[in-house]
Structure 1
Amino acid sequence: MSLKSNIVHRYFKKEMADGKILLKVDPVHLTGNELLVSNDGETSKRALAFDEQIWDDLEVDAFEEVSAMEFNLYSSGLL
């Protein structure tokens, strides 16, 4: 089994006045996805590459760690 299939991703969320940002972070390869969800339900997704400072950046920017369920529901269009 490859290392890629054994990774436990971490998920983060930040609420803003115009919507929310949800992040999925691969803590091994420092890659991930960002979902931007506007208050009117529009969703956009993009792939990201992070550096080793991502954990400090998320804390400074007031992201909270959340479960995978919310990210996956928005990602699949169910929310």
Structure 2
Amino acid sequence: MVRRRRRSPATPCPDVTAAKAFSGDVLGLDVTEQNGILMLHQATRRHVHLLPTADHTLATYTIRTFRARSRRHRSR
């Protein structure tokens, strides 16, 4: 069985200043900034990180990794 873990998603942001103004003023989200990285705090207590990048290109594929158990599968 795959166990879910909480992770903080991150997305690239070409203009951190504009994103901070839009997220805080227009959307009404709680926004904090630390070392140039924005954190959007949602009501569900999850955070989204906005990373400053000037020349970001979207990925063409995504790799997912899952942990495998060392126990043998029991047949019922």
TM over 0.5: no
Q: Which has the higher contact order (CA 8 A, sep 6+)?
A: 2
Structure with the greater alpha carbon radius of gyration: 2
Which structure shows the higher helix fraction?
A: 1
**Structure with the largest fraction of strand:** 1
Using structure 2 for the length normalisation, give the TM-score. Answer: 0.31
